[in-house]
Structures are given as structure tokens and as C-alpha cells.
Amino acid sequence: MNIKEQKQDRFLFFTVIAMISFGLFMLFSASWVKSLEITAGESRTYFLTSQMMKLIPAFFIFIFLTKINYRKLQFLSPYLLFLSFLLLVYTKFQGCAGDSCRWLSIGPISFQTSDIARFSMILFLASYIDNNYKYMHQFVKGIFVPLTAIAPIALMIIIQPDNSTTLIMLMIAFMMLFIGGASIMQLATIGALSVGTIGIFILNEKNYALGRILSFIDPSSSVAVGYQSSQAMIGLKQGGLAGMGIGESIQKYSYLPETHTDFIFAIIGEEMGFITGILLMIAYYIIFYRAVQISKKSNDIFGILLSIGFGLSITIYAFINIGVVIGIIPVTGVPLPFVSYGGSSLIINLMMVAVLLNISKAQRKINVKRWRLRVNA
């Protein structure tokens, strides 16, 4: 296979670097009150220091993934998917924090195993479609087999419970299968059944996700859940167009929970205003746009699907997080990529960007005339 080396997508690279820098800046502003609280007044930079320490391994993994031949990941894809399943099983049975079993702790290190599963699923589906593109229009090979392969992953994430991550992963999977050539009618049917199944899990849970949905419909139905959304909206309204000023947030003084994680966008809006919030959304759009452009310039089926899958993953997570904060989506617990506190999310998202940059610099010349990607239509 002939490979024509090109320059990496610098626009994508510098956009992500700018977002990480901005994220660290806002993380300190959003978390210093909480840092003082959990360190008994000894440190304002607990969360900032922790996030910067997590950037060190993330940096080395990032460099490694930009240098290797990304096609080697195709061989590893089924093994990584199976490893993700084993990690999810171990996470479930190692013990839970409250009603949630999402984090795996190995010594001082803890990470969210569903993040690893998200990366592995996209890798597996891109590889599967590449190997079976001639048969993607068939129900068995185009839909049944790949969805059956990822079903155990989805099931383990549902029972953590983490319904929002499950729905996002299925959304990404369905989009990748559609782009790969699967029937939209068949996907719609299976999608409806999947949503119905998740709905049954929600109804059987201990007022967890159901309470969030009911509070979204009627905020007065759940004071605890509705409180988060209400306080987030208060912060955004206080910020207005230009913001109250850097460091001037009121909501971070224990009014709004999770200001450094799920609701950091509310602090951004409160301190830096609507304009900065819009600029941040544009940055996420740029990431998705560059991912699509990388896919269009590649003649490698595996690379095309990886580009689309990783671009969708980062963008969907971002806009669901923002949608929760501005009150158009029920509270889900989804972090804001490159900005929210959290090591596993940061590392996995940087891994995705690294592979995107890798794909952008290698244009592989193969014959794909018999297979027309819908993204290039």
C-alpha cells in the first residue's frame, strides 16, 4: 500500500491545545473553593495540580499515537474491545461508590472504564466496517453482528448504571454503521428497540435516571435534581453577555455542585459570559469539521471511519454537556471534553485527537470505488 506523507492538521492541533489551556485556566477558577474545602484550607490548586499531573501520561500517549502507523490499531481492536468488557465487569464487582459502579481503582490511580470502552468500540466498528464493507447493506453482517459484538459492553455500562454514556455510545455506533452502508430503516428499528430497552432499565432503577427525567419535565418534582439545573441557569443569567469577570463567580461558593466537572460550563458563562460560551461551542464545531475533512481526504476505509467516530464522540459529549447546563437536556453527568476535571476523559479524548492527527498526515492510496461512503456523498 502506497503512503503519501502529509503535514498533520495543525488547525486541529492548535485548537485542542488552546482548549486544554483554557480548560486549565477555568478549572482553577471553578475549583479553588472546593479545593480549600477538601484540603482543610491548605491548597487552592488541588484539582488544578491533579489535572496537570494527569496531562503528563496523556502527553506521552498522545505523542506515541501520532508517531505509530495507526493501521496497527486495527489488529488490536477486537482484543481492546474484549479488554474493555473485562474492565467493566471488574469495575462492577470491585465495589461501588453509592449506587454507582463507574470507577476502577488500582492503587492511587482511578479511571472511568466506560471511557476506555468508548475508544475501543469506535476502533472495533471502524475495523469491522473496513473488513466487511461489501456486506454492510445486509442485515446480518451490516447490523446484527457488529451490534451483537458491542452489546455486552453496552449492557455492563447500563448496569453501572450509566444510561447517558450507553445512549451516546449507541448513537455513535449507529451513525458509524449508517455511514458504513447499513440500512437506515433497519438501524431505526433496532434503535427504537434499544431505546425501549434502556427505558425499561430506567423505570426499574432506584429513582436515579427517572428522577432526572421527571425533574427536567417538572423541576419541582425533584428538589435535589432540579436544584442543579436551576443554579446553573442562575449562573448563566448572572453572566449575561460579557460575564461577571474572571474569578467573580458566585455559584462556585457551594451553590452549584460539580462546578469543576459536569457544570463547569455554567461557571464559564457566569464569569466570561455568553460570547465566550459561543466561542467554546465554535471550537467544538471546528474539531468535528476538521475530523470530517480528514475523513474526506483519506482513501483508507479504516481511517475514514475512525475520523468520523472520534469526531462524533468528542462533539456529542460536548454538546450534551452544554445542553444539560442550558436546560434543554436532562441532567446526565457527562463531562465537557478538554475542560472538565477528570483524567480518564482527558486521556481518551487526547488519544482520539492523536489518531486524527495521525490519519491527517497519511493519505493511503487504495481502490474504494465499489464502496461509496455517505460522508463523501
Among 31, 22, 23, which residue's Cα sits nearest to residue 247? 31
Q: Which three cell numbers stand for residue 316?
A: 456529542
- Listing DSSP states for 175-220 in one string gives HHHHHHT--HHHHHHHHHHHHHHHHHHHHHSSSSHHHHHHHHH-GG
The DSSP 8-state label assigned to residue 143 in this structure reads: I
pLDDT digits (tens, 9 = 90+) for 44-97: 889 999 899 889 989 999 999 998 888 889 999 999 999 999 988 888 777 555
pLDDT of residue 89: 85
pLDDT of residue 106: 62
Q: Give the residue ranges of the chain where pLDDT is below 70.
A: 1-6, 95-101, 104-110, 196-226, 363-377
Question: Phi/psi of residue 162, each to 5°?
Answer: -150, 75
- Listing DSSP states for 64-111 in one string gives HHHHS-TTHHHHHHHHHHHHHHHHHHHHHHS--BTTB--EEEETTEEE
Secondary structure (3-state) at 258: coil
Contact 267, 235 (CB under 8 A): yes
Q: Which three cell numbers stand for residue 360?
A: 491527517
Q: How far is CA 132 from the centre of its chain?
A: 26
Question: pTM to 2 decimals?
Answer: 0.85
Domain ranges of the chain: 1-40+208-342+361-377, 68-206
pLDDT of residue 262: 85
Contact 170, 105 (CB under 8 A): no
pLDDT of residue 219: 52
pLDDT digits (tens, 9 = 90+) for 236-265: 888 888 888 888 888 888 778 878 888 899
d(CA 109, CA 23): 22
Q: What is the mean pLDDT of the chain?
A: 82
d(CA 337, CA 107): 25
